[in-house]
Amino acid sequence: AQSVSQHNHHVILSEAASLELGCNYSYGGTVNLFWYVQYPGQHLQLLLKYFSGDPLVKGIKGFEAEFIKSKFSFNLRKPSVQWSDTAEYFCAVNAANQAGTALIFGKGTTLSVSS
Amino acid sequence: GAVVSQHPSRVICKSGTSVKIECRSLDFQATTMFWYRQFPKKSLMLMATSNEGSKATYEQGVEKDKFLINHASLTLSTLTVTSAHPEDSSFYICSARNQGSGSGANVLTFGAGSRLTVL
């Protein structure tokens, strides 16, 4: 069975600080990897995704993530955070090449950015 | 882009009553939809996979007789919480996968969620 672990429960940063949120997954096969963001009072939105190819993927709003297969990791990064990045961030995984499989989510990381 | 609509966004009901939540894919067809439950400060827990024209597949520990799922068409799935109790109070979120081709085909689009409060 797949599982996702997000190491940071709550991260507090000042504006312009750099961000890295950890995500590790457990699965014996090939996976698709995702980062979703949930702003206060809003629904989940896709930040970025990795299916195959270049392990460094760029998403919206200046976010990027790097897939390191040997470490089963897919950490999310942003060089300079803004107050508007305050939100809940979820890493998710599903089995690649299997149509109709659900996403399995990590427990989420709350990011608080102070201005 | 793909849009998933959930209704109602908020519902308050008395203990013992049943509540139906609708999930619609507005601009695409979805053979498969997924229902999640989100607790405060917790991640999304997959409850069940809703399959158009067939029975839903429930995750371990989810009572299928309490959480009835019907996927009547390629754009509509419903979750009915039967004989609701206060412990069923939660945030229920549906998602759907665009059956189209391209990179968007394997991306889930989420509804805005439905907050259920059982008194």
Write out chain B residues lying below 8 Å of A94, CB-based: 106
Q: Which of B2, B37, B10, B25 is nearest to A41 (CA)?
A: B10
Considering only residues A100 and A106, tell me which one the structure prediction assigns the higher pLDDT. Answer: A106
Rounded distance, CA B3 to CA B1, Å? Answer: 6
Question: Any bridge partners for residue B20, and if so which?
Answer: B80
Touching A: B residues 60-99, CB under 8 Å: 93, 95, 97
Write out chain A residues lying below 8 Å of B98, CB-based: none
Rounded distance, CA A26 to CA A29, Å? Answer: 9
Q: What is the 3-state secondary structure (H, E, C) of A18-59?
A: CEEECCEEECCCCEEEEEEEECCCCCCEEEEEECCCCCEEEC
Confidence bin at A43 (pLDDT 50/70/90): confident
Q: Looking at the complex, does the CB of residue B112 fall below 8 Å from at least one CB of chain A? A: yes
Other C-beta atoms closer than 10 Å to the C-beta of B90 total 21
pLDDT at B104 over 80: no
Once rounded to an integer, what is the mean pLDDT over residues B104-109?
A: 71
pLDDT, residue B23, reads: 96
Sign of CA dihedral B67, B70, B71, B75: negative
Minimal C-alpha gap between A80 and chain B (Å): 25
Interface test with B, best of A48, A51, A105 (most B CBs within 10 A): A105
Write out chain B residues lying below 8 Å of A46, CB-based: 107
